Amino acid sequence: MKRVIYPGMFDPVTNGHIDVVKRAMELFDEVIVTVGRNPAKVGLFSTEERVEMLRESLKDFENVRVDSFDGLMVDHARELGAIGIIRGLRAITDFEYEFQMALMNRKLSNDIKTIFLMPHEKYTYLNSTIIRNLAMFGADVSKFVPPFVEQKLKEKYPKQYGLEQ
């Protein structure tokens, strides 16, 4: 079985992330989408909330599961029996950082490969930071995130969406 992990912060998960998962599903037997815990970053959503949003957003995907991890990606991949780490590349600006990470991961574990996948071009501008910023101002994010994630964003910013009592 060819298993890969798709790690990220997913704060929140976007349709671009979902698109990368779909592409990975076509290539591998199992895709484990895994939320990284980064003590240096304070997210809008807790790790548990991000896992919940991913599980709901991916519930109809047969060969996908969701989990979370602390520590190094390569160690987590090895623990799960994964052959590789999926990384999404949207634009050239992503490449330099992702290339450095891939080379470091190779040094740490030569048996875990990094696989770069590009989302559909309609998602190349999309990232979680943009979504958080749009939601903070009450903008319509329905075209950019799954419905469950949209609802969770509205719960975080009820005043901006006219939901505050």
Quick check: is 128 catalytic?
yes
Q: Is residue 34 helix, strand or coil?
A: strand
- Told to judge if 76 belongs to the known catalytic residues of this protein, a careful annotator would answer no
Dump pLDDT digits (tens) for 90-134: 877 788 888 999 999 999 999 999 999 999 999 988 999 999 999
Q: Which domains does the chain have, with CATH numbers?
A: 3-156 (3.40.50.620)
DSSP of 115-160: EEEPPPGGGTT--HHHHHHHHHTT---TTTS-HHHHHHHHHHSTTT
- Single out the catalytic residue among 41, 107, 143, 159: 41
User: What pTM did the predictor assign?
Assistant: 0.93
Active-site entry in 55, 90, 113, 154: 90
Q: Could you confirm whether 109 is annotated as catalytic?
A: no
> Which residues fall within 8 angstroms of residue 114, CB to CB, at 6 or more apart?
84, 85, 87, 98, 101, 102, 105, 106
State both tokens at 139: 């903008």
Predicted confidence (pLDDT) per residue in 3-57, tens digit: 999 999 999 999 999 999 999 999 999 999 999 987 777 889 999 999 999 999 9
Q: Which of 57, 128, 132, 152 is catalytic?
A: 128
With bands split at pLDDT 50, 70 and 90, how would you rate the model's confidence at 162?
confident
Instruction: Note if 41 is an active site residue.
Output: yes
